[in-house]
Amino acid sequence: MKKTKRLRKLINSKKLEFIMEAHNGLSAKIVEETGFKGIWASGLSISAAMGVRDNNEASWTQVLDVLEFMSDATSIPILLDGDTGYGNFNNARRLVKKLEQRNIAGVCIEDKQFPKMNSFINGQLQPMADIDEFSGKIKAMKDTQNDDDFVVVARVEAFITGRGLEEALKRAEAYRKAGADAVLIHSKRSDIAEIEAFMKEWAGRLPVVIVPTKYYMTPTSKFQELGISLVIWANHNLRSSIEAMKSISARIYRDESLVQIEKDVASLEEVFRLQGVEELEAAEEQYLPSSEQDLDERI
């Protein structure tokens, strides 16, 4: 089954589904091997891995380069965190073309203004997009896609910016009418009160996606009870890798030795496995003349 159709099935599933963050080819491959059915290509994580802020400092073409490696390394669908679509409707529809060329299954865009800022940094001060302008962006993206199963998710930032339930519902409904395949309702509260209020009034008009980064104490059974379709674990591979690298770097710096850390890091053999070295060796047997194979072995 093609990746777009698989993502569409996840979003429209009657049972709660989960996708996991990745930010490069290696982390994407690990997510797939773990058993997740889909990948969230996080804007925060990709930008952080590049050493820049989540403020559209990495260009959309640089993000595409990362996505190409992620897509090539995996067989499960990828949903891109596409920020605001990297500009107006014209930028957003060109983005859809380029995502489809790289076999990316869908994109989520948020109703804030370009350049965006991460939702958890002074969210109440962030200007939101005009509803009609953002709806036009969704229409342009849906009109542009070649694959009918390509997914466009509209992310509603009304709660993040302090505008409340009425505004969230008004925006979500406008985006539904514009052709969005699902809505992502975002909240920075530590409880699920805003999400619960939205789901009660929304009444299943479109599938709903959530990102429980701040309300992580809420049992996932509650998400199922509310009728949530998809949960995104949004940045935890990046955050765990930061802690691991800080710890290992500090220990090597302190000890000036590798003796004590070797047992706590992946083996080189595991790195080679994830890179697909065995496939290359098999391909060399099939395609390289024996003389060149012997040369490779001597080198």
Q: 38-69: b or e for each residue (b if 16 or more CB lie within 10 Å)?
A: bbbbbbbbbbbbeeeebebebebeebbebbbe
Q: Residue 214: name the closest of 240, 198, 233 by CA.
A: 233
Q: Residue 78: name the closest of 45, 113, 117 by CA.
A: 45
Report yes or no: 72 and 25 within 8 Å, Cβ to Cβ: yes
The Cα 169–Cα 173 span in angstroms is 6
Report yes or no: 215 and 195 within 8 Å, Cβ to Cβ: yes
Q: What is the SS3 assignment for 128?
A: strand
Give the pair of three-digit tokens for residue 84. Answer: 């605001």
Give the pair of three-digit tokens for residue 52. Answer: 């820049």
Instruction: Select which of 54, 81, 149, 181 is catalytic.
Output: 54
What residues does 112 pair with on adjacent strands? 128
Q: Cα angle vertex 187, ends 184, 193, to 5°?
A: 110
The Cα 61–Cα 278 span in angstroms is 31
Burial class (CB in 10 A: 0-12, 13-18, 19+), 260: exposed
In the residue annotation, 54 being an active-site residue is answered as yes
Q: Residue 203: name the closest of 172, 158, 157, 240 by CA.
A: 172
The Cα 169–Cα 158 span in angstroms is 9
Q: Would you name the residues annotated as active-site residues?
A: 54
